Structure 1
Amino acid sequence: MKFVDEATIDVAAGDGGNGCASFRHEKYKEFGGPDGGDGGRGGHLLAIADASLNTLVDFRFTRRFEAHRGEHGKGSDMFGIKGDDIVLKMPVGTIIADAETGEVLHELLVPGEQITLAKGGDGGFGNMHYKSSTNRSPRQKTPGWAGERRTLKLELKVLADVGLLGMPNAGKSTLIAAISNARPKIADYPFTTLHPNLGVVRVAPEKSFVVADVPGLIEGASEGAGLGHQFLRHLQRTRVLLHLVDVAPFDDTVDPVAQAKAIAAELKKFDQKLYDKPRWLVLNKLDMVPADEREALTKDIVKRLKFKGPVFEISALTREGCERLIQSVYEYLAKEFRSHLPDENPDPRFVDEADPRGI
């Protein structure tokens, strides 16, 4: 399925039905009185957060949605039937904004959450609505009210606890495949990952967290270079970032420290809050470094980066050090954000207030 994280749609709720002006005509009842019913309400446009969806592809080609109008009122005290509502299923994490003003209207953060995108118009009043002791033969009636119409911009930000970031070919896809149920494409060339991948990491039968892998970043990503800038926003809802660094690049002229600093600079340019998130350093591909050289190499990288946060040495390919990494991540999440983990009381709307750490 094609990954789509932006869409623009037009929604139109149903108009209300018109009221009816009618009088009773029955044998032996010369002055039957008014019996015109009210019109029915127009259908609403609703949106519901569906946990089974992870893309906005359904709104890529179908961009206009119209609800049915309410039925007109009729004689014999008959009110019009209300119009059918239309329910649009959207992924959890969808931001709904007014396309003209840019104002954010709703954020679907909880599975099953339902909101109204456009309200149907109320039905008009029939003449029986105006009957009174002083107005016994009203002929007034009103048309139905128009339903709301608006153009909406949909933007998807995936909900994940942990975000992976790093240069292309840093081993992010290999790591998420090694520790979770995700199966992203893995190859020996840059930009293998073309869209975010989500994986559930099982620490124990009832203990898990969600990790997100986005396309690799390069210098200038915040200004549009490469692919990562299109998906950096998917890291904005994560609680901790794992910064993967390739300690054994194929090109000897590539400096892992310079690459790590470039990634940190791009994060800061894109969003200061994203840069301030807790960020852990993960030194990957240790299987490519001779055992007697690993300690010196990792100490040199950490020293040159002046990194003060947690540091992990792993090989995503052989899974060396991966178990310690995921246990540490879960313990951190359980301690800092215990209210949202699956074995506790889920609350994905929790605001990240952890002290920023990182490069």
Structure 2
Amino acid sequence: MIFDYVKIYAKAGNGGNGCVSFRREKYVSHGGPDGGDGGKGGDIILRIATGETTLQAYKYHRKFVAENGGDGKGAKFHGRNGKDLILDVPPGTVVKEAATGRVIVDMSDRGDFVLCKGGKGGFGNTHFSTPTRQVPMFAKAGMEGKEIEVIFELKMLADIGLIGLPNAGKSLILSKISAAQPKIAGYPFTTISPNLGVVSYDNTSFVAADIPGLIEGASQGNGLGHEFLRHVERCRLFVHVVDASEDEAAGDPIKNMELINEELRLYNEELASRPQIIAANKCDTGLEDTSAIRAYAEEHGYGFIEMSAYTGKNVRELVAMVASRLSVLPLPTRFEADYQYVETLREDTLTVRRENDTFYVESEWLKRMVKSVNFDSYDALLYFHRLLRERGVIAALEEKGACDGKTVDIYGFVFDFVK
């Protein structure tokens, strides 16, 4: 069974902490602060692995954490940046946010994509020296790396999809038109995983996918329908293989084609409108009556060919017909991101709400600031209070009725309000 769907947890590295240090050197008086900055945390980066065709690498390993940045040191030594963590995915992997299902990126033909950005390193105390604060006893902590739970969903990059009921001869056709070697036998459901093959014709080539036999109810997941139908979403053209041998066990070919097309429509309305070529297969003797199948194809605007994968009849002609149709069809479907996946800095957004005698302050920049300030340092507290005043937090609290002695809670940092 192909492994084409997995949920993983990814977290970028935290930034290193800034250093509190002072220059101590013989014959150098008043050396001043020389604390270095922390290093940046490592990113989580997605990269296309062209040789991969499944998500098997993520079957047992589903938690990925990048390296943290190193702490700064004295003498203005900058902390080491954390190493980026590269996650290889096969071409055609669609990455979705697990919580909402929204598409983040389609890893079809793009370069590297930064899924989680590493936290910035904290400033050393060198940055906080002023004419009135020449001995800053505090530095900033590094920022936390971004974390997210995502879904990897592989949708194969194939130009054509061989569709049809089980045992219609799809795998044999693929083996005849390409170098693929799928398992072939004379019973239904021989193929339980999609197979890919590269087909060459004149000076062109295209990728064909043998989609395991679909059955009634596939759009609702019957017979692993969702897993199979996922891989036809990018196909530009369907080769609808139908058993034309007039064998009673094969059933009515018209009803069989209508069943498959209805399942495509139920799964995705747009799939039912994709162009098709009806391949009336198993015409081994040449005595089969394919007039009804031909009429059905003409009625719906589909291409038609009578063939036998077993004897090789019209196999080359099928390839020529497919190549001709593909030359005028648009490129494979690409899944666009549902939203701009970037870190938005809403530093001007400030919310103050009152619950009983406690005032809760919420803001993106405050959330980051609380995590980076060392509140054990008196100098750091004064610095933080000055920022609250400069950014309008004190004024916003006063507007909500805060006065001296009232309790203020900023993301877990609780203190008494002092104007």
- TM-score when scaled to structure 1? 0.89
Partner of 1:344: none
Partner of 2:372: none
Partner of 1:354: none
- CA distance in structure 2 between the partners assigned to 1:321 and 1:93 by the alignment: 31
Runs (4 or more) in structure 1 with deviation over 3 Å come to: 132-135, 304-307, 347-351
Q: Does residue 116 in structure 1 map to residue 107 in structure 2?
A: no
Deviation sequence 1:220-275 (CA, Å, 0-9, x none): 21122223432101101010001011001543572111111111111111110111
Give matches, 1:57-72, under 5 Å. 57-72=56-71
Give matches, 1:312-323, under 5 Å. 312-323=305-316
Confirm or deny: 8 A CA contact 2:106 2:335 kept in the other structure: no
Partner of 1:47: 46
The worse-fitting range, judged by mean Cα deviation, of 120-129 and 245-254 is: 245-254
Segments of 5+ residues of structure 2 without an aligned counterpart are 337-419
Give matches, 1:175-190, under 5 Å. 175-190=173-188
Partner of 1:298: 290
Which amino acid letter does the alignment assign opposite residue 53 of structure 1? E
- CA distance in structure 2 between the partners assigned to 1:75 and 1:208 by the alignment: 61
Confirm or deny: 8 A CA contact 1:18 1:143 kept in the other structure: yes
Partner of 2:346: none
Q: Does residue 196 in structure 1 map to residue 194 in structure 2?
A: yes
Shift of 1:101: 1.5
Partner of 2:265: 268
Partner of 2:222: 225
Tell me the SS of whatever aligns to 1:61: coil
Confirm or deny: 8 A CA contact 2:106 2:334 kept in the other structure: no
Tell me the SS of whatever aligns to 2:161: strand
The worse-fitting range, judged by mean Cα deviation, of 227-236 and 40-49 is: 227-236
Partner of 2:319: 326
- CA distance in structure 2 between the partners assigned to 1:304 and 1:166 by the alignment: 15
Confirm or deny: 8 A CA contact 2:96 2:105 kept in the other structure: yes
The verdict on how the C-alpha distance between 1:227 and 1:250 changes in structure 2, with shifts beyond 3 A counting, is farther
Confirm or deny: 8 A CA contact 1:216 1:227 kept in the other structure: no
The verdict on how the C-alpha distance between 1:104 and 1:350 changes in structure 2, with shifts beyond 3 A counting, is closer
Structure index of larger Rg: 2
Confirm or deny: 8 A CA contact 1:214 1:228 kept in the other structure: no
Partner of 2:417: none
- CA distance in structure 2 between the partners assigned to 1:115 and 1:137 by the alignment: 43
Of residues 283, 288, 293 in structure 2, which corresponds to 1:286? 283
Shift of 1:335: 2.7
- CA distance in structure 2 between the partners assigned to 1:303 and 1:122 by the alignment: 66
The verdict on how the C-alpha distance between 1:227 and 1:41 changes in structure 2, with shifts beyond 3 A counting, is same
Paired residues in the alignment total 335
Confirm or deny: 8 A CA contact 1:194 1:227 kept in the other structure: no
Q: Does residue 142 in structure 1 map to residue 140 in structure 2?
A: yes
Confirm or deny: 8 A CA contact 2:235 2:333 kept in the other structure: no
Which amino acid letter does the alignment assign opposite residue 3 of structure 2? V
The worse-fitting range, judged by mean Cα deviation, of 236-245 and 133-142 is: 133-142
Which amino acid letter does the alignment assign opposite residue 313 of structure 2? E
- CA distance in structure 2 between the partners assigned to 1:332 and 1:119 by the alignment: 43
- TM-score when scaled to structure 2? 0.77
The verdict on how the C-alpha distance between 1:30 and 1:168 changes in structure 2, with shifts beyond 3 A counting, is same
Partner of 1:105: 104
The verdict on how the C-alpha distance between 1:211 and 1:127 changes in structure 2, with shifts beyond 3 A counting, is same
Q: Does residue 242 in structure 1 map to residue 234 in structure 2?
A: no
Which amino acid letter does the alignment assign opposite residue 280 of structure 1? I
Percent of aligned positions that are identical: 42
Which amino acid letter does the alignment assign opposite residue 98 of structure 1? E
Confirm or deny: 8 A CA contact 1:280 1:311 kept in the other structure: yes
Partner of 2:328: 335
- CA distance in structure 2 between the partners assigned to 1:300 and 1:153 by the alignment: 44
- CA distance in structure 2 between the partners assigned to 1:137 and 1:89 by the alignment: 48
Which amino acid letter does the alignment assign opposite residue 103 of structure 1? R
Partner of 2:155: 157
Shift of 1:144: 0.4
- CA distance in structure 2 between the partners assigned to 1:114 and 1:153 by the alignment: 17
Segments of 5+ residues of structure 1 without an aligned counterpart are 341-346, 352-359
Shift of 1:161: 0.4
Confirm or deny: 8 A CA contact 2:234 2:333 kept in the other structure: no
Partner of 1:258: 255
Shift of 1:169: 0.4
